[in-house]
């Protein structure tokens, strides 16, 4: 049996495997290690549909001339699942009252929903509420999904567009000690929430760049490799959380102003500078 992966001959020789399913199971761990997943199959030139997968897996390899395996990156598959969720939300909004339940049920049973639950439990929980008519509704969720799609589809552009948000949250972090001292608890809590959302966004974009083949390992932040900088940043966040849990408001303010804000700004500037350098 000849095995091809994405059209290229693969140097794979079955050993103890007797069925197509056993071959694919053996390849599964390797695929995950490369950041890819199985996205399609063909037996002797004929595509295997969703309804024929079980039958295909049970086929003896001696009965197969050529096994074509198609893979996609996890980022590509996640983008597809987000697009599927956005379409389902549009269908849900357009459906009549009696049809909404069926639209929601179809999506909940779809591969798109399963992957969203795996890759982004927070968005999946939000989708469950939206399809149940609860929470902030489909429109707000679709806006977030569209943002995530931009991060995956154009991470460099989305990084540029995030500059104003990073500047805003860093300024707010530098003002946090004064907010705490003057009893502006609501503003301080708002700053913490804003920081969490913006920091997560910047790190998601960094991950999207990495998945897209951008040489993130070559980025330096200040005088250190970006991976070491990230490790120190995570340490700073742990210190901030510990200070918050101990209700040490003075330490919370100091860490926010003198460590968290500069590290977020430094990380963002380092990645942005590397992206701009590659574009030139």
Neighbour tally for 6: CB within 10 Å: 13
Q: Among 28, 46, 73, where does a domain finish?
A: 73
Same domain for 48 and 84?
no
For the whole model, what pTM was predicted? Answer: 0.81
Does 278 score more than 90 pLDDT? no
Give the pLDDT of residue 159: 96
Mean pLDDT of all residues in 6-29 = 82
At residue 280 the predicted structure's pLDDT band, cuts being 50, 70 and 90, is low
Domain-terminating residue out of 106, 129, 153: 153
Answer with the residue of higher pLDDT: 197 or 34. 197
Number of neighbouring beta carbons within 10 Å of residue 55: 11
pLDDT at 256 over 90: yes
Tally the domains of the chain: 3
Residues 37 and 82 both lie in one domain = no
Summarize pLDDT for 228-241 with one digit per residue, the tens: 999 999 999 999 99
The Cα 87–Cα 224 span in angstroms is: 43
Last residue within a domain, chosen from 153, 170, 202: 153
pLDDT the model gives residue 260: 96
pLDDT of residue 14: 75
Give per-residue pLDDT as tens, 107-166.
Answer: 999 988 999 999 999 999 999 999 988 888 888 999 999 999 999 999 999 999 999 999
Together in a domain, 44 and 127: no
At residue 95 the predicted structure's pLDDT band, cuts being 50, 70 and 90, is very high
207 shares its domain with 168: yes
Domain of 110, in residue numbers: 77-153
């Amino acid at each position: 049996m000849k095995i091809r992966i994405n059209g290229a001959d693969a140097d794979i020789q079955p050993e103890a495997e007797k069925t197509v399913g056993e071959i694919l199971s053996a390849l599964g761990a390797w695929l995950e290690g490369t950041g890819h997943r199985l996205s399609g199959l063909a037996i002797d030139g004929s595509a295997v549909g969703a309804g024929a997968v079980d039958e295909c897996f049970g086929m003896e390899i001696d009965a197969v001339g050529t096994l074509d395996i198609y893979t996609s990156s996890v980022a590509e598959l996640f983008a597809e699942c987000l697009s599927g969720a956005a379409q389902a939300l549009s269908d849900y909004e357009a459906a009549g009252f009696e049809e909404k339940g069926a639209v929601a049920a179809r999506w909940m049973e779809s591969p798109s929903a399963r992957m969203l639950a795996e890759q982004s439990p927070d968005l999946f929980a939000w989708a469950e509420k939206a399809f149940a008519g609860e929470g902030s509704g489909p429109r707000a969720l679709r806006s977030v999904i569209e943002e995530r799609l931009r991060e995956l589809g154009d991470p460099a552009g989305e990084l540029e567009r995030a500059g104003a948000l990073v500047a805003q949250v860093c300024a707010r972090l530098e003002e946090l000690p004064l907010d705490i001292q003057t009893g502006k608890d609501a503003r301080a809590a708002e700053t913490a929430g804003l920081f969490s959302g913006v920091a997560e966004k910047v790190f998601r974009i960094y991950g999207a760049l990495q998945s897209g083949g951008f040489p993130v390992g070559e980025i330096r932040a200040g005088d250190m490799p970006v991976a070491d900088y990230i490790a120190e940043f995570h340490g700073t966040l742990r210190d901030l959380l510990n200070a918050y849990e101990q209700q040490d408001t003075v330490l919370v303010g100091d860490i926010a102003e003198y460590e968290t804000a500069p590290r977020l700004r430094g990380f963002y500037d380092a990645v942005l500078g590397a992206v701009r350098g590659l574009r030139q």
